[in-house]
């Protein structure tokens, strides 16, 4: 049987050819295959890929500097652009005959469609399971049911994002505040100041930092409460199909009430390169969250009990814009002064890590075996943990 030529998934042509292979192997519609191929290539869906790649073509004028060119080429397309809202992912759903279907085994047409949310009955659609190609392995991505475009869950439905945020806000010690009905705000500056142990700076007149007519004070003693509340919001994000699902209810702000988009705060596995650029290029650093799969857990390095590290699974290397024979990848490392903080976390687990990150880049190293690239450059995102709660296992 002939095989489809491997085309780098950085063009619409490549994504379309990949979709043909997926449709044939999985016996699904071409439109479903297009979305899966785009998702595996780092986009939210095929429409998102079209927008991003067409915009790249429209803006194909020579960049002003090599560094800008590298940033434009290397930043992965972020799945968090404004797009359709899909709500919290559901592992099962009812069909029109009230028969329950599991997301990992359902195929289009098996049930009497349109499918329904088991709790509130709103119509949902199926996103099939698939594999995501990482640096040295394929990772299985579970299927799920999600809202139809422009759909919404009924009030009090457990799959409604706003209901969950309301619960988190009630015990957040002021980190998350209500600003209007079904709209909340999380203050990243409170997390940063508590992590740094500096407390909130005072205004010149001696008052606390102002916020739209009110005051707040960041308290380092409340750091565990801040981190735990932020982690609950992050775990909710991992259950959502896109950033927009949570962003419409929970906005992020930093110093001076400057809004921070969720796609500049939360980075999934295929977006680690975007996370690297966010940290390395931001003039003022704010906390960011990295989501990924654990590749290794190593404790007591070189006999030192204070040196413990988790590395996340790397995405595939990408060609260097300035040297196509050099592959560039991002390695994410989380360092802990106590091995106990990593207890219960194993290879293959999904985790979300929140904090203030640092970046570094290694010089190109010669490839150990012949292949597409002659050299490899690793860009590193690293975090030195201050609190155990900064790392959360995603169940």
| Cα–Cα dist 34/31, whole Å | 5
Residue 395: partners with Cβ closer than 8 Å, 6 or more residues away: none
Does this model's pTM top 0.85? no
Measured distance CA(268)–CA(280) in Å, rounded: 17
Report, as ranges of residue numbers, the positions in the chain whose pLDDT lies below 50.
1-9, 55-85, 198-216
Location of structure tokens 């960041």: 218
Say what the pLDDT of residue 79 is: 39
Residue 343 CA to residue 73 CA, distance in Å, equals: 38
- Is residue 341 domain-resident? yes
Distance, in Å, from the CA atom of 174 to the CA atom of 176, rounded to the nearest integer, reads 5
| Residues 49 and 94 occupy one common structural domain | no
Q: Write down the residue that tokens 């680690």 correspond to.
A: 272
Same domain, 126 and 189: no
Task: With respect to residue 179, please indicate whether it lies within any of the assigned structural domains.
Answer: yes
Domain match, 121 and 168 both: no
> Does residue 388 share a domain with residue 292?
yes
**Strand-pair partners of 243:** none
Shared domain for 102 and 17, answered yes or no, is no
What is the span of the domain harbouring residue 172? 161-260
Q: Strand runs (DSSP E) across 130-272, as ranges?
A: 130-133, 138-141, 144-147, 176-180, 183-187, 209-211, 214-216, 250-253, 259-260, 266-267
Question: Is residue 335 domain-shared with residue 386, that is, in the same domain?
Answer: yes
| Per-residue pLDDT, 363 | 92
Are residues 296 and 387 both part of a single domain? yes
Residues facing residue 366 across a β-bridge: 375
Of 38, 57, 76, the residue that ends a domain is: 57
Q: What is the DSSP letter of 88?
A: B
Closest CA to 271 of 215, 315, 308: 315
- Note whether residue 270 is domain-resident: no
3-state helix, strand, coil split of the chain in percent (to 5) is 30, 30, 40
The pLDDT score that the predictor gives to residue 206 is 36
Q: The CATH number of the domain where 380 resides is what?
A: 2.40.50
Q: Give the pLDDT score at 252.
A: 94
| Assigned domain for 216 exists | yes
pLDDT at 26: 64
pLDDT of residue 219: 59
How deeply is 167 buried, as exposed, middle or buried, from its count of CB atoms within 10 A (0-12, 13-18, 19+)? Answer: exposed
pLDDT of residue 194: 79
Instruction: Please report whether residue 19 resides in a domain.
Output: yes
Tally of domains within the chain: 4
Within a domain: 67: no
d(CA 243, CA 263): 7
Name the domain boundary from 136, 154, 172. Answer: 154
pLDDT at 33: 74
377 and 321, same domain (yes or no): yes
Give me the pLDDT at residue 368, please. 86
Whether residue 283 is contained in a domain is answered as no
In whole angstroms, what is the distance from residue 80 CA to residue 137 CA?
25
* C-alpha angle 299-302-304 in degrees, rounded to nearest 5: 65
**β-strands 250-253, 183-187 pairing:** parallel
Tokens read off for 30: 């071409």
Residues 6+ apart with CB under 8 A from 68: none
Q: Which of 160, 351, 127 is nearest to 246 (CA)?
A: 160
Query: Do 236 and 179 fall within a single domain?
Result: yes
Residues 306 and 331 in one domain: yes
Do 389 and 306 belong to one domain? yes
Say yes or no: 121 and 185 in one domain: no
Residue 62 resides in a domain: no
């Amino acid at each position: 049987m002939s095989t489809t030529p491997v085309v780098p998934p950085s063009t619409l042509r490549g994504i379309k050819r990949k979709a043909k292979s997926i449709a044939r192997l999985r016996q699904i519609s071409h439109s479903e295959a297009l979305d899966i191929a785009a998702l595996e290539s780092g986009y939210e869906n095929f429409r998102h890929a079209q927008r991003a790649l067409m915009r790249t073509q429209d803006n194909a004028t020579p960049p002003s500097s090599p560094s800008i060119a590298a940033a434009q080429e290397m930043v992965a397309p972020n799945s968090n652009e404004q797009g359709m809202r899909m709500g919290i992912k559901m592992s099962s759903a009812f069909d029109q005959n009230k028969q329950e279907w599991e997301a990992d085994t359902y195929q289009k047409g098996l049930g009497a469609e349109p499918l329904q949310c088991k709790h509130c009955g709103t119509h949902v659609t199926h996103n099939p399971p698939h594999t995501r190609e990482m640096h040295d392995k394929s990772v299985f991505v579970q299927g799920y049911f999600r809202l139809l475009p422009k759909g919404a869950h009924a009030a009090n439905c457990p799959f409604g994002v706003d209901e969950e945020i309301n619960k988190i806000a009630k015990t957040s010690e002021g980190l998350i505040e209500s600003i209007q009905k079904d709209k909340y705000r999380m203050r990243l500056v409170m997390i940063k100041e508590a992590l740094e142990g500096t407390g909130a700076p005072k205004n010149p007149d001696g008052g606390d930092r102002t916020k739209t007519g009110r005051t707040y004070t960041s308290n380092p003693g409340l750091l565990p409460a801040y981190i735990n509340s932020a982690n609950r919001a992050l775990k909710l994000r991992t259950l959502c199909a896109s950033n927009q699902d949570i962003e419409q209810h929970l906005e992020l702000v930093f110093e001076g009430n400057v809004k921070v988009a969720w796609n500049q705060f939360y980075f999934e596995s295929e977006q680690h390169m975007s996370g690297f650029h966010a940290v390395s290029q931001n003039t003022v650093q704010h906390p960011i969250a990295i989501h990924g799969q654990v590749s290794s857990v190593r404790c007591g390095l070189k006999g030192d009990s204070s040196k413990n590290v988790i590395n996340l699974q790397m995405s595939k290397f990408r060609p260097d814009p300035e040297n196509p024979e050099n592959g560039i990848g991002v390695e994410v490392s989380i360092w802990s002064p106590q091995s106990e903080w990593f207890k219960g976390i194993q290879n293959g687990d999904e985790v979300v890590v929140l904090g203030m990150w640092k970046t570094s880049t290694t010089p190109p190293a010669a490839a150990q075996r012949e292949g597409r690239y002659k050299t490899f450059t690793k860009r590193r995102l690293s975090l030195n943990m201050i609190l155990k709660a900064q790392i959360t296992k995603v169940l």
